Chains A and B, each alone.
Chain A
Amino acid sequence: MNYEMVMGLEVHCELSTNTKIFCGCSTVFGGEPNTHVCPVCSGMPGTLPVLNRQVVEYAIRTGLATHCEITRYTKFDRKNYFYPDLPKAYQISQLYAPICQNGHIDIVANGEKKSIRIKEIHMEEDAGKLIHDPWEERTLVDYNRCGVPLLEIVSEPDFTTGEEVIAYLTALRAILQYVGVSDGKMEQGSLRADVNLSVRPVGQAELGTRTEMKNINSFRAIARAIEGEAARQIEVLENGGRVIQETRRWDDNKGRSFAMRSKENAQDYRYFPEPDLPPISISQDWVDRVAGELPELPKAKKARYLAEYGLPEYDVDLLTGDLALGKLFEGALEVCGSPKECANWVLGEVLRLSSETATPTDAMTLDAGKLGRIIIMVEKGRVNRSTAKEVLEKVFADDIDPEEYVKAQGLEMVRDDKAVGQVVEAVIRDNPKSLAEYLAGSGKVRQFLMGQCMRQLKGKADPALVGQLLGEMLDKISKEN
């Protein structure tokens, strides 16, 4: 029996506002436990929430960037349950009138275009963190995260494959970065995805029973979690069992999911409208202003890059998928005017340095203008590529001035035919064995000779020139022999 998957995603995104959603505490990540707290976010008696306007602004931006309708009269509701990371024993969220509804994100997966519908986007507050003390039988509570603003983005169950899910998350993350509301880092918890998944025999119209999976901390883990859970459900069904509707915790280390604290009765959250916060009336003017301030979004940017720069789609996806890389690309392009070169450098050397130094792309301080100037130096023949790479490393690490550095270190490319010719001659002369091999027909040895020439020239020669002269001389010797 063949089965197909039906999936929906609930993505929680931590907003990068300076302060929390209902109080003035800092949202900065880290910090000693319980130092970014106040009576409001720690649920002390008599305290009241006050809405951070920036959160609403960010929600409108996100809604517009995902083609949602903005709810003009939006309000908050209380979701009541007991857990130690929830100091008020209720979460202020939105159920009845979420701020955004009926949007979509277009994706490409497995070569096919698809539009994933967004059911709604709503604002809510994050809960704290529970830390299990490994030495004693106790759990410690840190309220720093209580009240950090979240946007919850709920999709319709439009996903049928893991690739679609990854494509959607990639696109969503890019959008969130582009509109400046979140850095969207799954590993750091600023982007969390819960997957609702059910299976059904191919062709069956009725949906199967779905489970919800939490604690998925990377894109790769999502792929594994989806595969694992689908397999688990199929096995249950094949063995004649029934899938239980429950919430499961994905353990990526163990490669399987575990049912969470049993919810024998579906949790009744007793939602009711939050009486401490008046409803928010969002005017057309406000929406228009936010719409007017939206930057070029990833999809539009991609179309423009493909049309204007003629870059391969794979490269364009990488450049538009990461806000920092895109900015670097555009900044360098402005200076040197060569899209192909900029793309190569950004996706080649810059990414390599980012990875080697373990610097996340949005933490790089590399100046785009300086990158552009390095590219110009190469194009003008002032330095060769390997020198340029060295200069880039220095700019990346220490933000030096590229032209001055080249000058000071004497790294200009040697292009003097005569000087190069002399070195080539000397190398051939000093390596009679290699010459003999070459004459005997070995092509590989030419690379060795080339390498020796470059070494003699301290890497500063124009490789094209060296190669040309070396080739000429070798040809000449061949003919003579």
Chain B
Amino acid sequence: MLNGMTALELGQKIKERQIGVAEAVREAYAAIDAREAETHCYISLCRDRALRQAESVQQRIDAGDLRSPLAGVPMAVKDNICTQGVPTTCASKILTGFVPPYNATVFRKLEDAGAVLLGKLNMDEFAMGSTTETSFAGATRNPWDTTRVPGGSSGGPAAAVAAGEAMFALGSDTGGSIRQPAAFCGVTGLKPTYGTVSRYGLVAYASSLDQIGPLGRDVADVAAVYEAISGYDPQDSTSMDRPAFREKPTADLRGKRIGIPAEYFGEGLNPEVKEAVLQAAWLLEEQGAALGECRMPELSYAIPTYYIIACAEAGSNLSRYDGVKYGFAAEHSDLQSLYLNSRTQGFGPEAKRRMLLGAFVLSSGYYEAYYLKALRAKALIKGAFDRAFEEFDLLLCPTAPTTAPRLGESLSDPLAMYLGDIYTVSVNLAGLPGLVVPCGFDHSGLPIGMQLIGKPFGEKALLDVGLAYQELTDHHKKTPEGRALA
């Protein structure tokens, strides 16, 4: 039943008392029970808590205390977002048993709005990866083709929304981790402008790049969740208020100047993906948008810049996992072996690879050559976007060079895997908002997503264009089971 609805539609029905919150939650778990064996979106479920929460939310709705459009809507969050009293593992052995005594700000906001947590979603370990295969809990499978990856690192969130195992989800995006899985799974995903959503309670990967963002069935859902979670948080010094959405997103394309970055349509881009994205652009042009080409040669430095900065920060952020305070502690004979054994046994190879890379680029003698250079390159990349936005309101491009690869194909060549982030990392480096909407399928029926990149705090333009596009198309209404949304 829930598969026929968006989160906002469900929220409306709950508000009108057509569906009870407990009923919605039970339906959600029924979908989970039916599909989890195939998809493995979740690391953990919290049924008892959800049902108790459902009761409490229903009471608040009945008392007229809850006005949010998301009240009563069952959802799930990526397992790197701290949920008080609910285990949070970041899909890593080293955090087994960690139950945070505090909430991430975004999660508290959603619960205050009345959304109900179904469980914690699978991810690449500590958000490091593009396939969700590095999870200590095992891989998640793409609901469109379970021999393939859902993307990463927010594979669980994207797959859960696609498979109807959650009405919406929260993911995190450091180099594309919301957008790429959204594209691979045919759902809508938003990486907000850096700083507009609090990072308090998000287990840090790369502090200057991480952002939490929503994944949902359509732009309207994503916009509503973004509205609920964004805003300045005194507990996050890098957060700030964004200009409020005075109105809901409007499907208005007239006068929108859309830039097409030439560098993003070159070599390495799968022809079907290219075709689908260009078709989307032309459709928008037909409806009144002005297209133009923009050149951003600095983007060729994006991948090494991203990996140097992200790994440097990650290495430092992950140093606290040492077996002393929480999580996994290995057998040891002294302090040194406690550290070495716990970290050796507790982390997977990709996390280790990035921590080592990070330590190297920050080490004395190499700091100027790598890290400092990367910071300068980051500024240049931002400059390239600033120039583009003098001419355009937003940019349109592919999200990933391919559709979802098969399970097991990617991990043997990490560098090749890193190159797959080519269209997404630059957006994190520049701190810009990025929206992904489904724009077609390849010949095997695998989803393709197009990416819209906005100015700083320019989410409204992205959501407007995305909404317009979704009014003209139905890619976002398709589901893996073949049932179209009503």
A residues near B (Cβ < 8 Å) are 39, 42-51, 78, 80, 82, 84, 87-90, 139, 141, 268, 270-272, 275-278
Contact = CB atoms under 8 A, between A and B. Distances in A.
What class of interface size applies to chain B in its complex with A? 35 or more
Given A39-B102, A46-B201, A84-B324, A89 B319 contact: yes
14 contacts: A39-B102, A44-B100, A44-B101, A44-B102, A44-B325, A45-B82, A45-B100, A45-B321, A47-B200, A89-B320, A141-B324, A268-B364, A270-B316, A276-B207
Interface stretch (B233-241, B262-270, B296-304, B403-411): B233-241
A47 to B, nearest CB: 7
B221 interface: no
A435 B445 CA distance: 128
Contacts of A43: 320, 325
B199 interface: yes
A48 B200 contact: yes
Contacts of A80: 315-316, 319, 362
Interface string B470-486: 00000000000000000
A277 B90 CA distance: 24
The dominant DSSP class at the A interface is loop
Nearest to A47: B200
A241 to B, nearest CB: 28
Nearest to A49: B237
B325 A87 contact: yes
Contacts, number: 101
B432 interface: no
Contacts of A49: 237
Contact of B98 (A45, A50, A78): A45
B324 to A, nearest CB: 5
Contact of A46 (B82, B238, B363): B82
Interface in B305-343: 312-313, 315-316, 319-322, 324-326, 335, 339
B203 interface: yes
Contact of B199 (A44, A48, A51): A48
A44 B326 contact: yes
B325 to A, nearest CB: 6
A45 B203 contact: yes
Given A39-B100, A275-B313, 18 more contacts: A39-B101, A44-B325, A45-B98, A46-B82, A46-B204, A47-B102, A48-B235, A80-B319, A80-B362, A84-B335, A87-B324, A88-B319, A90-B319, A139-B335, A141-B324, A270-B359, A271-B367, A277-B237
B208 interface: yes
Contacts of B339: 82
B88 interface: yes
A270 B316 CA distance: 9
Nearest to A143: B325
A176 to B, nearest CB: 27
B95 interface: yes
Given A39-B101, A268-B364, A278 B237 contact: yes
A127 B351 CA distance: 27
* Most chain B CB inside 10 Å of its own CB: which residue of A39, A87, A141: A39
B224 interface: no
B423 interface: no
Nearest to A267: B364
B363 A270 contact: yes
Contacts of B389: none
A49 B339 CA distance: 24
A84 B332 CA distance: 15
Contact of B95 (A45, A82, A276): A45
Contact of A275 (B82, B207, B324, B335): B207
Contact of B234 (A45, A46, A50): A50
Contacts of B202: 46
A43 B80 CA distance: 16
B313 A48 contact: no
Given A268-B364, A276-B238, A46 B100 contact: yes
Contacts of A82: 319, 322, 339
B82 A50 contact: no
Nearest to A137: B334
Interface string B94-131: 01001011101000000000000000000000000000
A5 B320 CA distance: 41
A50 B237 contact: yes
B90 A45 contact: yes
Contacts of B315: 80, 270
B144 interface: no
A271 B313 CA distance: 11
Contact of B237 (A39, A48, A88, A272): A48
B371 interface: yes
Sort A-B residue pairs by CB-CB distance and give the 5 closest, nearest first: A89-B319, A270-B362, A275-B207, A275-B208, A45-B203
A46 B236 CA distance: 10
B371 A272 contact: yes
A42 B326 CA distance: 11
A271 B316 CA distance: 10
A54 to B, nearest CB: 16
Contacts of A278: 237-238
B439 to A, nearest CB: 34
A44 B199 CA distance: 14
* Most chain A CB inside 10 Å of its own CB: which residue of B81, B203, B316: B316
Given A44-B100, A44-B102, A78 B199 contact: no
A45 B316 contact: no
A193 to B, nearest CB: 27
Contacts of A90: 316, 319
Nearest to B359: A270
Contacts of B88: 45
A7 to B, nearest CB: 26
Nearest to B209: A275
Contacts of A271: 362, 367
* Most chain A CB inside 10 Å of its own CB: which residue of B90, B95, B236: B236
Given A84-B324, A268-B364, A276-B238, A46 B316 contact: no
Contacts of B312: 272
A52 to B, nearest CB: 11
Contacts of B208: 275
Interface string B346-386: 00000000000001001110010001000000000000000
Contacts of B98: 45
B340 to A, nearest CB: 10
* Most chain B CB inside 10 Å of its own CB: which residue of A51, A88, A272, A276: A272
A120 B21 CA distance: 60
B362 A89 contact: no
Contacts of A139: 335
Given A80-B319, A89-B322, A46 B207 contact: no
Nearest to A276: B207
Contacts of A84: 324, 335
A305 to B, nearest CB: 45
Contacts of A141: 324
Contacts of A87: 320, 324-325
Contacts of B319: 80, 82, 88-90
A275 B174 CA distance: 14
A47 B321 CA distance: 13
Given A39-B101, A45-B82, A46-B201, A78 B316 contact: yes
A51 B104 contact: no
Contacts of B321: 45
B456 to A, nearest CB: 15
Given A39-B101, A268-B363, A270-B359, A46 B203 contact: yes
Contacts of B200: 46-48
B305 to A, nearest CB: 15
* Most chain A CB inside 10 Å of its own CB: which residue of B90, B322, B335: B322
Nearest to B101: A39
Contacts of A45: 82, 88, 90, 95, 98, 100, 203-204, 320-321, 326
A56 to B, nearest CB: 13
A99 to B, nearest CB: 17
